[in-house]
């Protein structure tokens, strides 16, 4: 129970990496605010945690909307009294298309969810972390935009993921004096439902042909990682075992980004 007595906020907590992280953080003793944009899914994860003997509440918000995010963070702190761990995980793949085909509203949507959502999550959580005297922020970035640039048409997505790592490194210095650590996890191919919000159009026009060895993930002979494996890294960064680590991206991809 490494996180006993801690309070955690997990955005995008109702599915994929966020769900796996919510379950693991709760299993290690944290009280978890499971934030999602769909009430039924957030409540399902929170109920599962409670049924397993843990503590959790569902929080409903659009991470790109200041008012709903402010209400959600305030609700969490009102319920549990403080905030110690933040996983800014909510994100979308958005539209992948050639730059001259990618529409401004499609660009804006990806930026709003992935980048504005990360900003608002951190912006609203930091005052509570400062009040507690410290804490840990983990941002879910990606191998895209940080190590790899071969996903055809993923310009908006890659830009947000690169910007998230820049935010982490910038804020590591700003927040260090408040004993707040901030790090990024950069998953590769992980078995999640993010493909549900991926929309591909005319990708071939933006593609650069490349031949990869059989299985693009060396460590697992091509098999994708799991959300639970990413959650283990989240737990490490949330716990005191990573107390001297800040401003650091951690690639969780089985070596995939080293090939691509």
Domains in the chain, CATH or no CATH each: 7-259 (3.40.50.720)
Residue-wise pLDDT tens digits, 54-100? 999 999 999 999 999 999 999 999 999 999 999 999 999 999 999 99
Active-site residue 157, yes or no? Answer: yes
**pTM higher than the cut 0.85:** yes
Instruction: Locate 39 and state its tokens.
Output: 């009430």
Dist CA 152 CA 55 (whole Å):
42
Say which of 119, 128, 157, 212 is annotated catalytic: 157
Q: What is the 8-class DSSP label of residue 156?
A: H
Over residues 199-220, mean pLDDT: 68
**pLDDT above 80 for 196:** no
Buried residues in 103-123 as b, exposed as e (16+ CB within 10 A) = eeebbebbbbbbbbbbbbbbe
Over residues 188-197, mean pLDDT: 69
Give the model's pLDDT for residue 172.
98
Over residues 209-237, mean pLDDT: 82
Q: Coil, strand or helix: which one is 47?
A: helix
Give the model's pLDDT for residue 61.
98
Give the model's pLDDT for residue 192.
63
Over residues 234-252, mean pLDDT: 97
Q: Coil, strand or helix: which one is 175?
A: helix
Dist CA 92 CA 196 (whole Å):
9
């Amino acid at each position: 129970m490494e996180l006993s007595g801690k309070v955690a906020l997990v955005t995008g907590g109702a599915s994929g990496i966020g769900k796996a992280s919510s379950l693991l953080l709760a299993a290690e003793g944290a009280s978890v605010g499971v934030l999602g944009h769909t009430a039924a899914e957030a409540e399902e994860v929170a109920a599962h945690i409670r049924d397993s003997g843990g503590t959790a509440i569902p929080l409903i918000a659009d991470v790109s909307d200041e008012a709903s995010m402010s209400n959600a963070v305030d609700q969490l702190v009102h319920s549990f009294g403080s905030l110690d761990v933040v996983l800014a995980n909510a994100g979308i793949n958005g539209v992948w298309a050639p730059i001259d085909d990618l529409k401004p509203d499609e660009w804006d949507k990806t930026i709003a969810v992935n980048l504005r959502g990360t900003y608002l999550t951190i912006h609203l959580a930091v005052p509570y972390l400062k009040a507690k005297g410290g804490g840990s922020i983990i941002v879910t970035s990606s191998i895209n935009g940080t190590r790899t640039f071969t996903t055809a048409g993923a310009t908006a997505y890659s830009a947000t993921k690169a910007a998230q790592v820049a935010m982490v490194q910038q804020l590591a210095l700003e927040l260090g004096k408040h004993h707040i650590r901030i790090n990024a996890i950069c998953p590769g191919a992980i078995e999640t439902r993010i493909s549900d919000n991926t929309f591909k159009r005319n990708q071939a026009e933006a593609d650069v042909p490349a031949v990869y060895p059989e299985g693009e993930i060396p460590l697992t002979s091509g098999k994708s990682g799991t959300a639970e494996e990413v959650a283990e890294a989240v737990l490490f960064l949330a716990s005191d075992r990573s107390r001297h680590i800040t401003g650091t991206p951690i690639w969780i991809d089985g070596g995939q980004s080293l090939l691509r």
